[in-house]
Amino acid sequence: MTTKYSAELLVPAEPAAVWDVLTDPARHPSIDASESVVGPVTAGRIATVGQVFTMRMQYDDGSTVTRYQTDNHVVICETGQAIAWATAVVGEPPLGWTWRYDLTPTIDGTLVRLTYDWTDAPQANVEAYEVPNTDAAGLLASLERLRTVVAEP
């Protein structure tokens, strides 16, 4: 049984330019192809493991839009190389899934791999939150948006 999806895309920019977008939660709505990320509640950049940033979110089931917030616990923060966070209900421990970006410099820019991993999610959380809520194609669509955003002046 699959418990994670990944996608990768070449972004024609230096890793620092990609890192600049990924560490700024205010820019996350522009790179989220699911359009569930609305914007940050907490201000500031992602800078260190252990940091928690809170985001306004929404879920549209086709008939109702549900608005909510998530805490995102930074579990990896290797400047210019990798960043990951674990999603949680505000004020609670992580639910068991992570979003991870790995950046690899290439001669043509930065190869970015996005991984959505719910390997450690308890079955009750998988069922309650309908995990997975995207697939590799959805991750690729987000990476395509990231490529566009990084290219903007």
Task: Kindly report, residue by residue over 89-117, the tens digit of the pLDDT.
Answer: 999 999 999 999 999 999 999 999 999 99
**pLDDT tens digit string along 117-143?**
999 999 999 999 999 999 999 999 999
Q: Which amino acid is at 44?
A: G
Show Cβ contacts of residue 29 under 8 Å, excluding neighbours closer than 6 positions.
Answer: 35, 37, 38, 39
What is the model's pTM? Answer: 0.96
C-alpha to C-alpha distance for 95 and 90, rounded to whole angstroms: 11
Q: Which amino acid is at 10?
A: L
Domain 4-151 belongs to what topology? Answer: Alpha-D-Glucose-1,6-Bisphosphate; Chain A, domain 4 (3.30.530)
- Give the pairing of strands 94-106 and 82-89: antiparallel
144, exposed or middle or buried, with CB in 10 Å at 0-12, 13-18, 19+? middle
**pLDDT tens digit string along 81-92?**
999 999 999 999
